[in-house]
Amino acid sequence: MIWLRPSERVALLLSLDVSVRSVLLCLPAAIAVAWVLSRRRFFGRVLVDALVHLPLVLPPVAVGYLLLVLFGARGPIGGWLHRVFGIDLIFTRNGAALATAVMTFPVMVRAIRLSLENVDHGLEEAARTLGARRLDRFATITLPLILPGILAGTIMAFSAGLGEFGAVITFVSNIPGETRTLPLALYTALQSPGGGAAAARFAAISFTLGIGGVLSAEWLTRRVRRMLGS
């Protein structure tokens, strides 16, 4: 990153940090939700499925506004977190990670769910007849088989998180060094007089990261599938 300017380096490192935090935040929940939606039939399942995928169709600004209402200083969740744990999410990089996680959560769930639906149930049933408990079957059979989907979903969610703009700027604003990720830095450059060159550099960085993420997801998925013999 020697060739990057200080502002570009800060925005890049912040974007990577926020995306990593968002992936770590939503990966366990994404696996659990994908498993429930693919393996369980219950009343309201269609509604739950719709709510999970809602960030894909809502304007990101609307998602950011809902997060502001819920997790803001006076929100029901944000106020409770501040009173009990002293945690503030608004105007912080943790808040940026939350907004990014909400927006990328459906991408991760969908990839993992598709892998779960392609798992051969006969293998799990054979393990059950041999005495393996549900958790053992999931850890030793199901989880390895859906690993390509987990990797693909994780990398795609990470890459999508690097480009999240609307929900982040609405929820945590555009604070240099704290919430100004690459998309926000690009937006700031476009709004600044003579910022065309800086905007082009931010766009090039974002494009490179996006291409790298898509290619990495495809390469890792194919490699893991070959290792699993599928």
Residue 93, pLDDT score: 93
pLDDT surpasses 60 at 150: yes
Domains assigned to the chain: 6-228 (1.10.3720.10)
Distance, CA of 53 to CA of 30 (rounded, Å): 12
- Residue 120: name the closest of 147, 141, 136 by CA: 141
Answering whether pTM is above 0.85, one says yes
* Cα–Cα dist 196/209, whole Å: 20
CA torsion 190→193→199→202, rounded to 10°? Answer: -100
Out of 37-41, 121-125, 191-195, 210-214, pick the least confident: 121-125
Instruction: Check residue 27 and give its pLDDT.
Output: 93
**What Å distances lie between residue 226 and 120, 147, 148, CA to CA?**
17, 12, 10
pLDDT at residue 221, as a whole number: 74
pLDDT digits (tens, 9 = 90+) for 19-49: 999 999 999 999 999 999 988 888 888 999 9
Give the tens place of pLDDT for each residue, 45-80.
899 999 999 999 999 999 999 999 999 888 899 989
Q: Are residues 203 and 182 in contact, defined by beta-carbon separation less than 8 angstroms? A: no
Question: What local confidence, expressed as pLDDT, does residue 227 receive?
Answer: 72
